[in-house]
Amino acid sequence: MYILGIESSCDDTSVAIIDEAFQVLALVISSQTSLHKKYGGVVPELASRLHTETIHLLIEKALEDAGLSLHDIDRIAVTKGPGLEGALLVGLTVAKTLSILLNKPIMGVNHLQGHLYSPFLSQHPPLPYIGLIVSGGHTTLAKVDTGAKITLLSQTRDDAAGEAFDKVARLLGLPYPGGPVIEKLAKEGNPKAFRFPRALRNQGLDFSFSGLKTAVSQTVQQFTKETLPIADICASFQEAVCDSLCEKAQLACELSEVSHLAVCGGVAANQYLIQKLQAYTSSNGIILYTVPIRYCTDNAAMIACAALIKWNSGHPVEKEIPMATPGLSVCS
Ligand code: KG4
Ligand code: ZN
């Protein structure tokens, strides 16, 4: 069985083909980052237009890479939300058209569930596991259970972790997206140079990163452009974000009595975070599952993967037409 996955919820257009054994036969991603860069963030109208311009080319490329034709495709999976409404509509329209033309079942997939199930693309974590989603739009802890059951445990009360990386990069005059560049500069800095806040510490599982961003902003104002200790600020900021993520993830495992943790989403590409999580989990008897970088950031393979898991768990195989749902929560 071949599943064609389509993802267009934000600024990456992606098409993938996986089989029933979760093997990724093709994964193509067209990143719009360089085009949004000059505006310091994603411009929704531009994102929709670029998705429209590239999506058909990516479908052709994915089929070529997998050595398949459109008629070999058995099922279609497409992101229905959360995301930018116009961007979602592009992928949904293409997926629905293909489903009607090929007379094949289609499933609208929750983007966050795509991230949560992405570990299945490289290994099969035992269920239940706690999923930590850290991306540009979300910082969420959820319990992933058998029967494709997902329980929301917590989320951020304000900024997402990736959003904090992007905003701090902007404060420091660094390019978008902030995560990779801050990670690189932090290697040269001292993580103890500045003591930035760890919000909501010992106060349950919710996250908060807006106070941290404000603290960085106040620190930046104490320096001139010439004297700004960029590497030390990057290292101290990254340390604060990673401390919060590690502590809350470990607490979620403890409270849920689950000893498997999977970390996913764009910020999970951060190797410093992964090392810190590894240290935390190994000293607390938790087994950590990580996701290869190409499956961490937004991609269509995770969307096809989530659909396969839901179909395998008894979700009806039908041609129900999915709607764009920009504000979807992790459980829907
Ligand atoms: O999952 P993703 O590709 O898109 C969303 O669904 O949001 O995540 C993008 C986010 C951006 O905020 C970016 O700065 C962050 O992931 N990111 C990183 C790293 N690579 C990407 N954050 C920290 N360290 C990284 N190496
Ligand atoms: Zn994402």
Rg (CA), the chain: 20
> What separation in Å is there between the alpha carbon of 7 and the centre of ligand 2?
10
Q: Whose CA is nearest to atom 7 of ligand 1?
A: 136
pLDDT at position 7 is: 98
Which residues, 6 or more positions from 70, have their beta carbon under 8 angstroms from its beta carbon?
Answer: 59, 63, 98, 102
Query: What is the whole-number distance in angstroms between the Cα of residue 302 and the centre of ligand 1?
Result: 16
Per-residue pLDDT of 29-40, as tens digits, reads 998 888 888 887
pLDDT band at 265; cut points 50, 70, 90: very high
Q: Is pLDDT above 80 for 332?
A: no
Whether the pLDDT of residue 41 is over 80: the answer is no
pLDDT at residue 59, as a whole number: 98
Q: Looking at residues 55-63, what average pLDDT do you find?
A: 98
Does the structure show a pLDDT above 80 at 245? yes
- The answer, yes or no, to whether residue 250 has pLDDT greater than 80, is yes
| pLDDT tens-digit readout, 174-224 | 998 899 999 999 999 999 999 999 999 999 999 999 999 999 999 999 999
82 lines ligand 1 (CB under 6 A): no
What pLDDT does residue 330 have?
85
Does residue 83 have its Cβ closer than 6 Å to ligand 1? no
Whether residue 164 has its Cβ less than 6 Å from ligand 1: no
For residue 284, how far is its CA from the centre of ligand 2 (angstroms)? 28
Of the bound ligands, which one is closest to the alpha carbon of residue 79?
Answer: 2
What do you get for the CA distance between the two ends of the chain, in Å?
26
Q: What sections of the chain are H helices per DSSP?
A: 33-36, 44-66, 85-102, 111-117, 161-171, 178-186, 210-221, 230-256, 271-282, 293-296, 300-312
For residue 181, report the distance from its CA to the centre of ligand 2, in Å: 19
> Counting atoms of ligand 1 from 1, which one is nearest the CA of 169?
14
